[in-house]
Amino acid sequence: MGEATVKGGGQTRLVRQAADGGPEGSGLRLSDGEVHFLYWFIQGSIMNPDTRRRLQGAWGFCQRHALAHLAVEFAFRRGWVHGCAVLYDDLMERAVRTVNSGRFGFWLAFRLRQTRPCLMCELGFGPNSPGLAPAELLARGRETSRLRSFAAETLSYWRGFVCAQCTGRTPSPDAPRCRPHLLGDLRHRRPVHLGAQRELIGSIYSAVNRYSRSFRLELQGTDTPADRAGLIAAMGWCSGWSAWLEFAAAI
């Protein structure tokens, strides 16, 4: 396990502790098929209405494929991850509308539930999926240096959004929760401070929205490290944090 580039204030220790709670095998070891699919997916599939609906129903991807999507777009786009930013801007806007609807309990859980499976899982892509892409393309798609730098540079901003349960800790009612763990608490009527969760979700949306808007020509260069961290926070909130934290522990 590696050590985060950004140190101090207990940041490296938090990432190490969180990674220990990650599922076995959740590191970034992508199959040929996953890399090849995502290479084509990032060419603009996010703008396809049917694809967008499927991603909305699944709240993005499963943890493995959410991380894979982000990593492959970083690899091929050299950090210009507009597609990921658009997706999570869209999903977090929906999350804000949901938690601010004035409804609670089972109704809120109903609205936060996943209604579609992960798109890549549904298509049969996994750790052993074969692919016919050239070796050079596969090697480039597995390059993670830019994403690791991005994770380190924004660590002090996204660490405050990490779900306590994803790190293996018992959360207090107002501790941050990802969508899957918030959904579980609501369904089982465990104590959770909804005001704190609304504030968390609103903060993530504000950050990722600013980051998404910064890809516009007239707003390029206006994003901050905190805005960029919103992309990671949004991914973690939608799908869960364990896979990301295992990856981030090796930066």
For residue range 222-244, what is the model confidence (pLDDT) as tens digits? 999 999 999 999 999 999 999 99
Average pLDDT value for the chain: 88
The average pLDDT across 167-185 equals 96
How crowded is residue 9: how many other Cβ atoms within 10 Å of its Cβ?
11
Residue 42 DSSP label: T
- With vertex at residue 64, the alpha carbon angle to CA 242 and CA 180, rounded to the nearest 5 degrees, is 55
Domain that holds residue 102: 11-248
DSSP result, 68-89: HHHHHHHHHHTT--HHHHHHHH
Q: Which residue has the higher pLDDT, 194 or 28?
A: 194
Per-residue pLDDT tens digits for 208-226: 999 999 999 999 989 999 9
Give the pLDDT mean for 13-20: 35
Q: Tell whether the model's pLDDT for residue 24 goes beyond 50.
A: no
Q: How far apart are CA 78 and CA 147, in angstroms?
A: 9
Q: Model confidence at 103, in pLDDT bands (50, 70, 90)?
A: confident
- When pLDDT is cut at 50, 70 and 90, the band that residue 14 belongs to is very low
Evaluate whether residue 173 is within a structural domain. Answer: yes
pLDDT for 102: 82
> Looking at residue 34, what is its pLDDT?
97
At 251, the pLDDT band (50, 70, 90 cuts) reads: low
- Rounded to the nearest 5 degrees, what angle is found at the Cα of 206, between the Cα atoms of 203 and 212? 140
Q: Kindly state whether residue 177 falls inside one of the protein's structural domains.
A: yes
Q: Give me the pLDDT at residue 159, please.
A: 97
Contact 230, 53 (CB under 8 A): no
DSSP 8-state symbol, 209: H
pLDDT band at 40 (very low <50, low <70, confident <90, very high): very high
Is 87 among the domain residues? yes
pLDDT reading at 60 higher than 90 = yes
pLDDT digits (tens, 9 = 90+) for 74-102: 999 988 899 999 999 999 999 999 999 98
pLDDT grade for 47, boundaries at 50, 70 and 90: confident
Question: Is residue 179 domain-resident?
Answer: yes
**pTM, to two decimals:** 0.87
Res. 20: pLDDT tops 60: no
DSSP for 143-168 reads --HHHHHHHHHHHHHHGGG--TGGGT
Task: State the amino acid at position 209 in one-letter form.
Answer: N
In this structure, is residue 4 part of a structural domain?
A: no
Establish if 16 belongs to a structural domain. yes
Q: Is residue 166 part of a domain?
A: yes
**Cβ-count burial of 226 within 10 angstroms (0-12 exposed, 13-18 middle, 19+ buried)?**
middle
Predicted pLDDT of residue 27: 53
Number of domains in the chain: 1
Asked if residue 35 is part of any domain, the answer here is yes
The single-letter code of the amino acid at 21 is: G
C-alpha angle 188/191/193, rounded to 5°?
125
Query: What's the rounded mean pLDDT across residues 36-40?
Result: 96
Tens of pLDDT, residues 125-153: 999 999 989 999 999 999 999 999 999 99
